Structure 1
Amino acid sequence: MERDSIIKVIALMVTAFGIGIDFTGALMLVPAIENSFDADITSTQWVLNIYALFFAMTMVAGGRLGDMYGHRKIMIIGLSLFLFASVMCFVSPSLDFLIGARALQGIGAGCVWPCTLAFGATRVSREEHRAMVMGLILAGVTTGNVFGPMISGFVVNLGDWRLFFLANVVFSCISMATAVLLMQRDKTHRTGEHIDFAGMGVLSFAVLLLLYALDVGSDWGWLSVPLMFLFFLSASLFLLFPRVEKRVKEPLLLPQMMQNPQFRITLGLNMFNVSAAFVGLLYFPQYMQKVLGWSVFESALGLAPLTVLLAVGSIVSGTLYNDFGPKRLLFWGYLCATIGAASVVVMPAGLGYFQILPGMALIGLGATLTVGPSGTAAVCAVKPERAGLVGGLSFMVHLVYGAISVACATAIMYMVSLSRFREHLAKAGIDMSQADQKAINGGTLTTKTAQAVMQKFSAPEAEKIKSALSMAFDSGMDMAFVFSTLSVSIGLVLALMLDEKKLHKIES
């Protein structure tokens, strides 16, 4: 590549690095946030899910706004929102306030990311360099994924998880400086574009209601009338979405694109590759902290087999894309991820860290071979002026399904762990109320609520309760990965169905 192109790619990688730090770094803060706000995992999962949802639902609009008004301009606006939201996260007085600030962070990131991808896809002088550039941008994100947990561990060891969001502020400022100084203004824009706010709103509310229903299911009762009503409303909105799309001028899913069966398969391949990785990023650190007793920083280092493979592999998959094509990369990637998720379930619990080590490595390798190629295949299937739209669309389905996967896995994990916890308590001869069981199930014993529960029992009983909680958490995590295994295996089938010769340029 020419020197000018290399400089632009470095600038894009810096921006991607800042986004990558925020995502995995926030995951590592979950136990500390539980302690700070006296919450449990079903509540604190929203720190991840609300960010992923708003990130996902903003990306298509962000990509189209970039196509209309200039990717550089929308990127700077998005970075400004992200910077403001990071400050709000730092000063959050409550969990609800923090979740709201994370939603705003997601909106900012949703404006930045598709424009970053579009820059990579359209500012390369030679067509054969496109896949490599996309791989380098993804490497910027995944390198941030590696350093994010380490930054989280460091600030938690300092005694305040809020300091992590100051790192967001620093990298947002650096990214804005590189965008202003190194990225050229767009010379051509698409005119007459329309943004499908109606479709975005219907789909967002459908997903939000589904996530909320999965969150409160254990408290309300899975067969309760209010919960069934929430599921009904969510399903109704999902069914309404295609009808809304037929009436708007320019829908989220352009008919020209969706008429190509191979493009639809590619979108599916962007979805299912995320299930094992998202669930692993949430539960592997918690397993290390809640079951193995590791510190946040030790857990960040323990997560390295997953995060380092993601970072290194993004570069490798970008260079392999042209040589091997997406079909082979996606098939082997999905196969690795499926085996990795299944290994977490079948490995004996007594192995400790080695129970999850093979799974982390294989899930990381699987994500390496699927995330980049599936996104690149989708972006390369359209004309350059549609790169922002499709870049946002492919990652929208990626993150929306990721949020749904985490919510489903957490609901399964909570139900199974609560059931196993009750069984272990009964075997130990400990009488604990159902309210107290729910209060400490799946969480950390250092919250105020958990400490109040534990004070009701003698020291020997407390040790038995801690042991019961660890075994219950392990059982719940196993069932969460059963869900992930089934989910990722769908992608394996889609990879076999992909026909590269028919993945053609779409007239749009």
Structure 2
Amino acid sequence: MDGKAKRVLAAVSVPAFVIGTDFTGAMLLVTPIEREYSVDITTTQWVLNAYALAFSMCLVSGGRLGDMFGHRQYVLLGLGIFGAASLGCVLSPNVTFLIFARALQGIGSAFIWPCLLALAATCVDEDERGAAVGILLGAVASGNAMAPFIAGTLAEIGDWRAFFVFNAVFAFLSAALMYRLVARETEHATDEKVDFAGMVTLGIAVFCLLFAMDLGADYGWTGLVTIALFSVALACFALFPFVESKVKDPMVPLPMMRNHQFVRTLALNGLPAIVLFLCMLYLPQYMQKVFGWSIFWGSLGMLSLGVPISIMNVAVGNYYNSVGPRKLLAIGHVFLIICCILMLLMKESWGYWGLVPVMVTVAVGGGLAFGPAGTAAVNAVGPKRAGLAGGLSFMFHLGLGAIGIACATALMFSAAIRQVASTLASANLTLSQNDMRLLAAGTLEDPAIKSILARFSGKEADVIAEAVRQSFSSGLHSAFWFGLAIAVFGLVLSLSIDESKLRSDQDAG
């Protein structure tokens, strides 16, 4: 790898790390945001969903625009949007403004990420591409893994807004490095257009699906609005291929849609993210709700996941050519299966050291899967489509991850409510449906739950407190059964990969 390639990789790794921190770091900030704006989880979860939806739906357009007008230029534009939106998060006067600013952060990230991947994949020769993409994915995965510690530390010494100050500062630092170290490209694919029709159709489908799962978990699955949202989502998903067949330059060109190996690598970019996000979202909560740790100590405990996955993502790229993506992906999913089984067997009495094997196995599994899946997606279509392949890869990584988390959360919340209802029924206690939802979703430290406990005394209060403690463990069990099913499916899909058709010298349109 020559000096120019090393400079490019150094420059693109910094914004990749920042992008990696934004989604998982915000997961730890939901509770303080709820308290400041006096809103519940139904509202604050859109602080996460708005970012994920805008990011995943605009990724392909970001990659295509980078292919058309220059990857360096669109990284700089995206960093400007991301930095300004981060300042908007810092200055948010209400939760609606915050959600809007988070959506803008997602749009900025969507311009940045596919262009970073294209720059990394095309700055080296073919035999070094696996290592180059591995370095970039190592940076973004390090951001994913380190974000809880960064957010927890900043929230502990200041408040949740300090995390978005961190985002803004590093966004402008990243722009300076890109401007200084990466040269402007001279060749672009100027004969293409952005597929706004496909982007809107798919965006509506995913939005309605996520919103329907939110409403279904809160208010039941048979409500008229919930059913209508699911119907619109299904209709838009069914309409999407028709829309793509009619536009000049679709989000996914038809030859790429017919490339079965490419489609499989896209799925394998997203399926491991579901298990990883399960761990990154719920393990800090496990430490806080079961162990009684603070946000800071919970974020510190997540280093057992963050450190090994960072090492794995950098190291695995060196073995892409010698071992092959099929074996790496399959072994990675075996580790993800082991992670879910360990979590299902987890007992509270094991304490933190019982969680360490869970975090190490998901780190090894994710590290083995993410880099090879991203490189394989680029190789399946060739360097001319590197930006588009990069956009689609991360769209599936974040989009499937977000949808998977929404499904797991719906299962978890439903199981938690059933556990609360069962515990209360055993003591002949009757509470309103709204009170039971609060008990299933919160902790004993939440003001809303304290107000419920204040209405009771003696054994009744003890029963309600026990219902809160048991609800989280019961719900978590359901979530990781879902994660196990996803990991098994990912293993089967990994074994179906045909490595002979993953050649970077081919062009899938």
The TM-score, its normalising length taken from structure 2, stands at: 0.95
Q: Which residue of 1 aligns with 2:507?
A: 506
Letter in 1 for 2:75: M
Q: Which residue of structure 2 lines up, in the alignment, with residue 76 of structure 1?
A: 76
**Contact in 1 for aligned 2:443/2:468 (Cα 8 Å):** no
Structure 1 segment 377-396 matched on structure 2, within 5 A: 377-396=376-395
- Structure 2 partner of 1:268: 267
Count of residue pairs brought into register by the alignment: 507
Residue-by-residue CA offset, 1:123-157 (whole Å, 9 max, x unaligned): 22x22111111111111112223432222111221
Alpha-carbon distance in 2 for matches of 1:507, 1:498: 17
Q: Which amino acid aligns with 2:67?
A: D
CA positional deviation for 1:225? 2.2
Match of 1:283 in 2: 282
Counterparts in 2 of 1:106-505, with a 5 A limit? 106-124=106-124, 126-428=125-427, 430-458=429-457, 461-504=460-503, 505=506
Alpha-carbon contact 2:262-2:381 (below 8 Å) kept: no
Q: Shift of the alpha carbon at 1:462?
A: 4.1
Greater mean alpha carbon deviation, residues 466-475 or residues 76-85: 466-475
CA distance, structure 2, for counterparts of residue 453 and residue 369 of structure 1: 46
Contact 1:34 1:447 in 2 (8 A): no
Deviations 1:209-256 (A, max 9, x none): 000000011333211222111111110110000110110111111112
Letter in 2 for 1:360: M
- Whether the aligned pair in 2 keeps the contact of 1:327 and 1:495 (CA below 8 Å) is yes
Residue-by-residue CA offset, 1:49-82 (whole Å, 9 max, x unaligned): 2212211111110111011111111111101110
Deviations 1:385-431 (A, max 9, x none): 21101100111112111111111111111110011012223334544
Counterpart-to-counterpart distance in 1, 2:247 and 2:72: 27
Segment drifting more, 209-218 vs 424-433: 424-433
Give me the whole-angstrom Cα distance separating, in 2, the residues matched to 1:420 and 1:351. 22
| Structure 1 residue 507: Cα displacement | 4.0
Describe the superposition over 1:301-340 as per-residue Cα deviations: whole angstroms up to 9, x where unpaired: 2112222222111111111111101000000001111221
Separation in 2, partners of 1:99, 1:444 = 24
Q: Give the alignment's Cα RMSD to 1 decimal.
A: 1.8
Whole-angstrom CA distance in 2 between matches of 1:242 and 1:406: 25
TM-fit CA distance, 1:191: 1.2
User: Does the residue aligned with 2:311 lie in a helix, a strand or coil?
Assistant: helix
One-letter amino acid of the structure 1 residue matched with residue 226 of structure 2: L
Counterpart CA distance in 2 for 1:426 and 1:292 is 26
Moved more, 146-155 or 198-207: 146-155
Unaligned residue ranges in structure 2 (runs of 5+):
none
Query: Is this contact kept in 2: 1:17–1:141, CA < 8 A?
Result: yes
Residue-by-residue CA offset, 1:88-131 (whole Å, 9 max, x unaligned): 1112233332222111111100100001001101122x221111
Structure 1 contact 38–447 (Cα < 8 Å) conserved: no
Task: Pick closer, same or farther for the CA change 1:100–1:445 going to 2, 3 Å.
Answer: farther
Distance 2:382 2:436 in 1: 56
Does the 8 A contact of 2:149 with 2:303 survive in 1? no
Provide the secondary structure at the position in 2 that maps to 1:249.
coil
How far is the alpha carbon of 1:496 from its aligned partner?
A: 1.0
Deviations 1:20-77 (A, max 9, x none): 2222211121222233334444443322222122111111101110111111111111
Partners in 1 of 2:121 and 2:17 — Cα distance? Answer: 18
The Cα of 1:448 is off from its aligned counterpart by: 4.2
Cα distance in 2, alignment partners of residues 459 and 26 from structure 1: 38
Deviation at 1:271, TM superposition (A): 2.2
- Cα contact 2:439–2:467 (8 A) shared by 1: no
Instruction: Name the CA shift for 1:355/1:420 in 2 (closer, same or farther; >3 Å).
Output: farther
Q: Which residue is 1:90 aligned to?
A: 90
Verify the 8 A CA contact 1:69 1:189 in the aligned structure 2.
yes
Q: Secondary structure at the match of 1:187?
A: coil
Equivalents in 1 of 2:450, 2:92: separation in Å? Answer: 24
Q: Percent identity?
A: 44
Determine helix, strand or coil for the equivalent of 1:293.
coil
> 2:59 matched to which residue of 1?
59
What is the distance in 1 between the residues matched to 2:327 and 2:145?
A: 26
Greater Cα shift, 352-361 or 232-241: 352-361
Report SS of the residue matched to 1:185. coil
CA separation in 2, counterparts of 1:155 and 1:430? 41
Mapped partners of 1:439, 1:97: distance in 2: 25
SS of equivalent to 2:252:
coil
Query: What is the one-letter code of the residue matched to 2:70?
Result: G
Q: CA, structure 1 residues 265+389, in 2 after alignment: closer, same or farther (shift >3 Å)?
A: same
Higher relative contact order (CA 8 A, sep 6+): 1
- Mapped partners of 2:281, 2:47: distance in 1: 11
What is the distance in 2 between the residues matched to 1:172 and 1:272?
29
Letter in 2 for 1:317: V
Q: Distance in 1 between matches of 2:262 and 2:315?
A: 24
What is the DSSP-based 3-state SS (H/G/I as helix, E as strand, rest coil) of the residue aligned with 2:441?
coil
Structure 1 stretches of at least 4 aligned residues deviating more than 6 Å after TM superposition: none
Deviation at 1:463, TM superposition (A): 4.6
